[in-house]
Amino acid sequence: MNLLILSANRNLYSTRRLVTAAEERGHTVKVMNVRKSYAVLAKGELDIYYGDHKIENVDAVIPRIGASLTVYGSSMLRQFEMKHIFTPVSSLALVRSRDKLRALQILAKEGVAIPKTAVAKQPTDIESLIKIVGGAPLVVKLLEGTQGKGVVLAESKTAAKSVIEAFYGLNANILVQEFIKEAKGADVRAIVVGNKVVAAYKRQGKEGEFRSNLHSGGHGLPIKLKASEKKAAIQAAQALGLKVAGVDLLQSDRGPLILEVNSSPGLEGVERTTGIDVAGAIIEFIEENYQASKLKNRDKIGA
């Protein structure tokens, strides 16, 4: 197959691993900086260009699009989809997962367990907002935050009111979420490919830090998931329409609670912690599903 990876930096660990995994299986791989690509549209024409070069003969596209490029990157991905080129992450699923509130709304609607969450722009009664999520301590998150940034633990009601008022004073979009004490500053990242969890590891926050993200100084530990945790991760990915996803969950007394679903999960942490070839699993999934997608599109054209 001819594979195209949409990535702003070909030297990133995840991008390099996908290239290596694909080439080891005999595929041709190119990496394209989606920021430098552009689309051309006319009657019956849906093309993607990189400089003066039209991108052609692509069998499958693997998006590795950063959060800052979600809108533009998803529009370029959509152009490939309209040309019936296979991708394990659709443009719609990408956009859904990047909008934290939209993702949580979908998960809640589909019956996926999440921490109790409240969203408000300028509530007239902040105390009621705090009470609804179970009181302090609680977590306040910026909707636009990434990699653990813009996440604050308010340990008392007074602190919670101050943090919420401060964010509202900055006209920031936030959500207020219950704090799962029994998680003890750790969460689990499960990598879902297709209909199964191919790897998982626990991310433990550093001493005195409730955020477990590795970018915040946490560290990874291998873990064997319970059947209920695997089921929750797969259900979350499917609810958002993602065939490849990094699902973050908390281990609570009432079972797994989904925090977030990432459409471009980093591979470095999970591969180095578990020793599992996640990049290879992604390429294998594309191999198995590319032909089926091609036949489906051919049947649609024939009909």
Question: In whole angstroms, what is the distance from residue 259 CA to residue 207 CA?
Answer: 21
Cα–Cα distance measured from residue 252 to residue 228, given in angstroms and rounded to the nearest whole number: 12
Please list the pLDDT of the chain residue by residue as tens digits (303 residues).
Answer: 999 999 999 999 999 999 999 999 999 999 999 999 999 999 988 999 998 999 999 999 999 999 889 999 999 999 999 999 999 999 999 999 999 999 999 999 999 999 999 988 777 788 888 999 999 999 998 887 555 567 889 999 999 999 998 888 888 888 999 999 998 889 999 999 999 999 999 998 666 555 555 555 567 899 999 999 999 999 999 999 999 999 999 999 999 999 999 999 999 999 999 999 999 999 999 999 987 766 666 545 443
Retrieve residue 122's tokens: 């300028």
Residue 71, H or E segment? helix 70-82
Answer whether CATH 3.40.50.970 is correct for domain 2-89: no
Coil vs helix vs strand at 194:
coil
151-154/138-142 β-pairing: antiparallel
Give the whole-angstrom CA distance, residue 293 versus residue 86.
Answer: 7
The Cα 215–Cα 203 span in angstroms is: 11
Q: Quote the DSSP letter at residue 263.
A: S
The CATH architecture of the domain made up of 117-179 is: 2-Layer Sandwich (3.30)
Helix axes 91-98, 70-82, angle to 10 degrees: 160
**Which residue shows structure tokens 């990047």?**
98
pLDDT in tens, 69-126: 999 999 999 999 999 999 999 999 999 999 999 999 999 999 999 999 998 877 778 8
CA 141 – CA 130 distance, rounded (Å): 14
CATH number, domain 97-113+182-263, options 3.40.190.150, 3.40.50.300, 3.30.470.20, 3.20.20.70: 3.30.470.20
**Strand, helix or coil for residue 122:** coil
Virtual torsion, Cα 228, 230, 234, 235, nearest 10 deg: 10
Structural domain boundaries of the chain?
A: 2-89, 97-113+182-263, 117-179
Q: In sequence order, what E strands does the chain have?
A: 2-7, 28-32, 37-42, 45-50, 53-54, 60-64, 117-119, 138-142, 151-154, 174-178, 186-193, 196-204, 219-222, 244-252, 255-262
Rg of the chain, C-alpha, whole Å:
20
